[in-house]
């Protein structure tokens, strides 16, 4: 008998029919003798609707009341799931985040979990009771206010609960049957991966893959929670295993490159002829950081006379205009000559723990893209990944080229 956490995303609980289908996945595990905790998201589209209502009520609203509103979507789903499970003859009850309790800090809208006490849920296992927990939410104990964990926070709730109760595994049910080598809509030959390391999944999640929320992968890695990505749309009586997210040592064979990710949420900014002296980089990036604008790729090119330099970097597309305004206001203190920008770019990334032991991986990619006439605007690397900034028009060609280059096609 194992202790399991099963998480169902918005598309898996989008209506009563889908809730009933998801409940059959729960029933399969209960019938097998396992202790089961279920974590649910709001019905697909419901959180966006609630967020929209907050904006219509007042453009500048109290973030504490915002959390009270948007957390309600998961409460509805949790109650409905418990009712459906009861109709199948399974003892079940719904839990709100504060009832567990899941305690967080007071960063409303993007709170971070500080502690979870799963004692009450575990006590329910003795009576064969399934706990259905509303994901995405917690409690700031000092103020007694409901908090939410940010978009995709139900993944975080599920993995954190699994870690707190020392669950044998955490199954994330969604509308795809696992993690793929790249987006199958771009590369039809993309294949589902049987296993991916925590580090690889963390890079994929942060570089454009939408399967799992980044913070949930961080928690899974920190607490060594074996996590499966599975499809709720498969036959509940005979589902596939999906993709296991696990420690590197649990993977027998390591490919050089595991997957190709891409992100269209990129904008490029370039400052021309900036004085090349100490403190200039700080005068550029500190104001952006204070405005909570995340800077990613950074390239500096010193001029021939070594007195000025060109600085190129990327920011999220949503922050592009704000970043431009901040830089224009700081023009005098920075001392740049020209500010240039481009939102028609995309970041392509290759990820694989096998890169640690193989030289020349990025060089092969540069050559292959050059042969296709694709110009690289910027490059960043780490131990297990490299990312390239290119013109958005070449996205599909670049992804397909790298996918084939590193032998990720089904036929490989």
Do residues 277 and 226 share a domain? no
Q: Which of 66-70, 252-256, 313-317, 364-368 has the lowest mean pLDDT?
A: 252-256
Do residues 185 and 281 share a domain? no
Do residues 167 and 132 share a domain? yes
Which residue positions form the known binding site for ATP? 7-10, 174-175, 180, 185, 210-211
Q: How many CB atoms lie within 10 A of CB 411?
A: 7
Do residues 263 and 216 share a domain? no
264 against 6, higher pLDDT = 6
Torsion of CA 217, 193, 170, 172, to 10 degrees: 80
Q: What is the pLDDT of residues 138-163, one digit of tens each?
A: 999 999 999 999 988 999 999 999 99
pLDDT at position 170 over 90:
yes
Q: CA–CA separation, 271 vs 284, rounded Å? A: 10
Which residue positions form the known binding site? 7-10, 47, 74, 174-175, 180, 185, 210-211
Do residues 277 and 187 share a domain? no
End-of-domain residue from the set 200, 230, 249: 249
Do residues 226 and 299 share a domain? no
Buried-state track 140-149, b at ≥16 Cβ within 10 A, e below 16: beeeebbbbb
Cα dihedral 247, 346, 268, 343 sign? negative
Q: CA–CA separation, 268 vs 271, rounded Å? A: 10
| Percent share of the chain, pLDDT over 70 | 98
Beta strand 267-275 pairing with 308-315: antiparallel
Extract the runs of DSSP E, i.e. beta strands, from 316-402: 338-342, 345-351, 376-382, 385-391
- Give the CATH number for residue 382: 3.30.2130.10
pLDDT at position 213 over 70:
yes
Backbone φ and ψ of 351, nearest 5°:
-125, 140
Q: What is the pLDDT of residues 88-109, one digit of tens each?
A: 999 999 999 999 999 999 999 9
pLDDT at 304: 65
Arithmetic mean of pLDDT, 333-358: 91
pLDDT at 249: 85
Do residues 343 and 300 share a domain? yes
Q: How many CB atoms lie within 10 A of CB 409?
A: 17
pLDDT at position 411 over 60:
no
Q: Which of 31-40, 202-211, 240-249, 367-376 has the lowest mean pLDDT?
A: 202-211
Cα dihedral 244, 245, 251, 253 sign? positive
pLDDT at 410: 64
Do residues 279 and 223 share a domain? no
pLDDT at 1: 84
- Give the CATH number for residue 8: 3.40.1160.10
pLDDT at position 412 over 50:
no
Q: CA–CA separation, 274 vs 121, rounded Å? A: 59
Do residues 203 and 347 share a domain? no
Which residue positions form the known binding site for substrate? 47, 74
Do residues 181 and 315 share a domain? no
pLDDT at 154: 95
Do residues 284 and 242 share a domain? no
Confidence of residue 305 (pLDDT cuts 50, 70, 90): low
End-of-domain residue from the set 249, 275, 298: 249
Do residues 278 and 174 share a domain? no
pLDDT at position 293 over 80:
yes
| Percent share of the chain, pLDDT over 90 | 74
Number of domains the chain is built from = 2
Arithmetic mean of pLDDT, 259-285: 90
pLDDT at 303: 67
pLDDT, averaged across the chain:
92
Residue 313 lies in domain:
254-412
**Nearest to 276, CA basis, from 297, 306, 313:** 306
Arithmetic mean of pLDDT, 339-343: 94
Q: Which of 49-58, 143-152, 209-218 has the lowest mean pLDDT?
A: 209-218
pLDDT at 221: 95
End-of-domain residue from the set 249, 268, 285: 249
Measure CA of the first residue to CA of the last residue in the chain; give whole Å: 39
């Amino acid at each position: 008998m194992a202790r399991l956490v099963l998480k169902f995303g918005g598309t898996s609980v989008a209506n009563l029919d889908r809730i009933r289908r998801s409940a059959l996945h729960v029933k399969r595990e209960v019938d097998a003798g396992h202790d089961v905790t279920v974590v649910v998201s709001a019905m697909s589209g419901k959180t966006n609707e609630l967020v929209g209502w907050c904006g219509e009520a007042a453009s500048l609203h109290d973030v504490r009341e915002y959390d009270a509103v948007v957390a309600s979507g998961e409460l509805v789903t949790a109650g409905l799931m418990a009712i459906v499970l009861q109709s199948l003859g399974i003892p079940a009850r719904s839990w709100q985040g504060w009832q567990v309790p899941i305690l967080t800090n007071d960063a409303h809208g993007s709170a971070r979990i500080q502690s979870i006490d799963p004692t009450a849920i575990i006590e329910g296992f003795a009576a064969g009771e399934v706990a259905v927990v509303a994901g995405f939410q917690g409690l700031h104990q000092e103020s007694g206010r409901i908090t939410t964990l940010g978009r995709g926070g139900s993944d975080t709730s599920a993995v954190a609960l699994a870690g707190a109760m020392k669950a044998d595994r955490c199954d994330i049910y969604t509308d795809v049957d696992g993690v793929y080598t790249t987006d199958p809509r771009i590369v039809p030959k993309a294949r589902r991966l049987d296993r991916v390391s925590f580090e690889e999944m963390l890079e994929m999640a942060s570089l454009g893959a939408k399967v799992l929320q980044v913070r949930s992968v961080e928690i899974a890695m920190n607490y060594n929670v074996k996590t499966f990505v599975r499809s709720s749309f498969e036959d509940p009586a005979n589902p596939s295993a999906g993709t296991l997210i696990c420690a590197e040592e649990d993977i027998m064979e390591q490919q050089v490159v595991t997957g190709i990710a891409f992100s269209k949420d990129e904008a490029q900014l370039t400052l021309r002829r900036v004085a090349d002296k100490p403190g200039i980089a700080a005068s550029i990036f500190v104001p952006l950081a204070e405005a909570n604008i995340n800077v990613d790729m950074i390239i500096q090119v010193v001029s021939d006379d070594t007195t000025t330099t060109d600085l190129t970097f990327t920011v999220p597309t949503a922050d592009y205009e704000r970043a431009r305004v901040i830089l224009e206001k700081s023009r005098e203190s920075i001392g740049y000559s020209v500010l240039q920008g481009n939102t028609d770019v995309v970041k392509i990334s290759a990820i694989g723990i096998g890169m640690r032991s193989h030289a020349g991986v990025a060089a092969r990619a540069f050559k292959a893209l050059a042969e296709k006439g694709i110009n690289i605007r910027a490059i960043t690397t780490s131990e297990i990944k490299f990312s390239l900034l290119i013109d958005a028009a070449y996205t599909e060609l670049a992804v397909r080229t790298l996918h084939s280059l590193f032998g990720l096609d089904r036929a490989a």
